[in-house]
Amino acid sequence: MKSITKSFAGVTVLDNIQFDLMEGEVHALMGENGAGKSTLMKILTGVYTKDSGIVEKLDQGGNMVQMEHITPKEAQEKGISIVFQEFNLLNNMSIAENVFIGREPKTKAGTMDWKKLYADTRDILKRVKVDKEPRVLVSELSVAEKQLVEIAKCLSYQADIIVLDEPTSSLTDREVDILFDLITELKSKGTSIIYISHRMEEIFKITDRITVFRDGKFVDTFKTADTTNEELVQCMIGRKLNLEKNTQAKDYKDKDVALEVKNVNVNVTLKSKPFDFRLHKGEILGFFGLVGAGRTEMARIIFGIDKADKAEVYKNGRKIILKSPIDAINNGIALIPEDRKELGLVLSLSVQNNLVLSCLKNLSPIRARKAEEKEIALKYIKDLSVALSSEEQAVEELSGGNQQKVVLGKWLAMKPDILIMDEPTRGIDVGAKAEIYSIMRQLAENGTSILMISSEMPEILHISDRVIVLYEGQKTLDAPVTGLNQEKLMHAAIGGI
C-alpha cells in the first residue's frame, strides 16, 4: 500500500501512508487511538474507498496486481480476510450462520446444507477451542466468545492475508495462547498476518515487524527484534512510560468497608458455591479470571441488571435493594460495561451528549445551563485525551479506543462512590492507559472505591491493591497484590486454590 490518503468530510485521517506486508510474516500495526490503523485496514478490505494511493497484492501467478475500488466481497475473493475491531456479527443468527455467512454450503438441490454447515462450524470452533453448539445464537455469547467466533469466521476464509484488528482486547491469556498457536500455524503455511494490538507484550511475542503511525501519518517500519518496549512506546506516543507492578499497594483491611457483597452465585447451572467479598473505601480491587468465569455476571448483579436470588449487597454497612441500574446509580454505584457498543454508548448521539448522559440528573432538568454540560464534556475529553474533531461529533465516528474513553468519561462524570469497571482499558493505547491508571489512582485517593474486572494480568498487577480470582463462578483467590505474580494468578484462574 503506497501513499494512501483518506479523509472524512474534510478531516484527513490517513495522510500519504505506506505499508508493506511480506509473505508469511506477522506485521504489527501500532499507534495511538485514532492514529488511523483501523481505517487503513478498512480500505484494504474494501469497506472504505481510499481518496488516493495504490494498493497492490501478489496474485496466484506471482505478479503484483493493483486493486482498485474493491468491495468487501471482492477482497474476500482475493484472499484478504479481517477480524474487525468492532464486532461484525449478526446477533439474531446462529454461530454457524455467522461463520459461513455469504458462503453457506449448498446441497445438490441448491438449498442450505445445514448438516455440513454445522459440521464445518463445529470443526472451526474446535480450532479456536470454543465449546458451544453451532446452533447457538450469537446474542447469547459473552464478549470473549463473540471475539473467538469472529476469529473463527476469519479463519474459515482460508485467506492468504489475515487482518486482526485488536483481536485480543477482550480475551484472557488462555484464549490469547490459542490464538497465538493458530497464528504460528498459519504463518508456517505462508499466510501473512497484519496484527493490531495495544498490548505490548503480545507484539514482542508474536510479530516479526512493526509499523507505527501517528496522527494518520506514517512514522516508521522496523524489525521487532531490533527494538525494545521503551523505544516502541517512545516512537508511538513521543514519550516514555513505566508500567510496573503496583509497589505502593496499601492494605485496606482496617479501612471502612464501602461495599460488601454476600452470597453471589453467578453460575447457577454449574452448582458453584456462592461467595462473598468486600470492597474498602479508597481501595482498588482487581477481579481476574478466564473467559466465562462469571465476573461480568457478578457486576451485573451489583448494578441491578440481573436479579440474584440470594445475593445481598451492603453499602457502608447498610443493606441496599438493587432492582435496576437506577437504584444502583442512586446509591452511588457506577458500572462501566465491557460491551461499549451495545451497553455503553448511544452511538448516534454526540460525544457531549453521551458524556453527560448519566450525570444529567445532577444538572438542571431544563437546559438552562448548557455551558455547564459543555464544560463537563470538555473536561473529560481533555482528561482522557479523546481524539475528535468536535464534542458535537457523533460517537460512532470515533475510533474504537476513543469510544472506550467516552464510556469511561461518562461514568467518571457521574462521580460515583463505587466504580465497577469491566475491562475498562479495552482497546486503549498504552499512553492513554497510563493516564487512565493515574486517574483511577487519583479517584481512589479521594475516597472512591474501584472494582476493576480485567483479563490483562499486567494491568491487574499494576493497578490493584487487592485481587480476587474467579473460576467458574467460585472465588479461588482473594489476596493483597503485594504477594502475587502472574503464575499465582493463572494458577487460581484455572481452578487451583
Partner 1 sequence: MQRLEEFNMSNNEAIIASKAKRGRKAANLRQYALIFIMIGLFVVFTCLTNAFFTPDNLLNMFRQVSMICIVGVGMTMIIILGDIDLSPGSVMAFVGVMGATVYKMTQSPFLTLVFSLAIGAGVGFVNGFITAKGRIPAFITTLATMQIFRGISFIYTGGNPVSVFDEGFTQFGTGYVGAIPLPVVLMAAVVVVGIFITQYTRFGRHIYAVGGNSKASQWSGISVDRIKIGVFTLSGLFTGLAGLVMAARLGSGQPSAADGFEMDVIAAVILGGASLAGGRGTIFGTVIGVIIIGVLANGLTLLDVSSYWQQVVKGLIIVVAVLIDTKSRKKA
Ligand X SMILES: Nc1ncnc2c1ncn2[C@@H]1O[C@H](COP(=O)(O)OP(=O)(O)OP(=O)(O)O)[C@@H](O)[C@H]1O
Residues numbered 363-422 forming contacts with ligand X, rule: CB under 6 A? 387, 397-402
Q: Is 10 exposed, middle or buried (0-12, 13-18, 19+ CB in 10 A)?
A: exposed
Chosen from ligand X, partner 1, Mg ion, none, partner binding at 176 (C-beta under 5 to 8 Å by type):
none
- Among 45, 76, 81, 85, interactor with ligand X by CB under 6 A: 85
CB 464 within 8 A of CB 284: yes
- Among 335, 450, 461, 484, interactor with partner 1 by CB under 8 A: 335
What residues from 322 to 351 belong to the interface with ligand X (CB under 6 A)? 338
| Cβ-proximal residues to 282 (8 Å cutoff; 6+ apart), any chain | 252, 255, 258, 444, 445, 446, 447, 448, 449
CA–CA separation, 289 and 173 (whole Å): 10
For 257-304, the DSSP string reads: EEEEEEEE---GGGTPPPEEEEEETT-EEEEEE-TTSSHHHHHHHHTT
Applying CB under 8 A, does 94 fall inside the site for partner 1?
A: yes
Which residues partner with 467 through β-bridges?
A: 286, 479
Looking at residue 7, the DSSP 8-state letter turns out to be E
What residues from 269 to 298 belong to the interface with ligand X (CB under 6 A)? 289, 291-297
Applying CB under 8 A, does 347 fall inside the site for partner 1?
A: yes
CA–CA separation, 393 and 395 (whole Å): 6
Looking at residue 97, the DSSP 8-state letter turns out to be H
Stretch binding partner 1 (CB under 8 A), from 14-22, 33-41, 112-120, 158-166? 112-120
CA–CA separation, 355 and 373 (whole Å): 9
CA–CA separation, 337 and 57 (whole Å): 40
Q: x/- string (CB under 6 A) for ligand X, residues 19-38?
A: ------------x-xxxxxx
Q: x/- string (CB under 8 A) for partner 1, residues 390-419?
A: xxxxx--x------------x---------
Residue among 229 and 272 whose Cβ is closer to partner 1: 272
Applying CB under 6 A, does 311 fall inside the site for ligand X?
A: no
- Among 2, 126, 253, 367, interactor with partner 1 by CB under 8 A: 367
Three-class secondary structure of residue 401 per DSSP: helix
Residue indicated by cell numbers 521487532: 224
What residues from 293 to 322 belong to the interface with partner 1 (CB under 8 A)? 303, 305
Applying CB under 8 A, does 93 fall inside the site for partner 1?
A: yes
Applying CB under 8 A, does 102 fall inside the site for partner 1?
A: yes
Residue among 145 and 260 whose Cβ is closer to ligand X: 145
Count of positions on this chain that bind partner 1 (CB under 8 A): 75
Applying CB under 8 A, does 114 fall inside the site for partner 1?
A: yes
Applying CB under 8 A, does 494 fall inside the site for partner 1?
A: no
Interior/surface letters 174-200, b for 16+ CB within 10 angstroms, e for the rest: bbbebbeebbeebbeeebbbbbbbbbb
Shortest reach from residue 49's CB to ligand X, in Å: 12
Chosen from ligand X, partner 1, Mg ion, none, partner binding at 25 (C-beta under 5 to 8 Å by type):
none
Q: In 3D, which of 266, 293, 260 has the Cα closest to residue 279?
A: 260
Applying CB under 6 A, does 144 fall inside the site for ligand X?
A: yes
- Among 223, 346, 382, 497, interactor with partner 1 by CB under 8 A: 346
Residue indicated by cell numbers 494490538: 197
CA–CA separation, 452 and 462 (whole Å): 12
What residues from 10 to 69 belong to the interface with partner 1 (CB under 8 A)? 10-11, 45, 47
Count of positions on this chain that bind ligand X (CB under 6 A): 37
Region label for 236, one of left (φ > 0), alpha (ψ between -120 and 50) or beta (otherwise): alpha
Residues binding ligand X (CB under 6 A)? 8, 13, 31, 33-39, 85, 140-145, 172, 289, 291-297, 338, 387, 397-402, 427, 429, 455
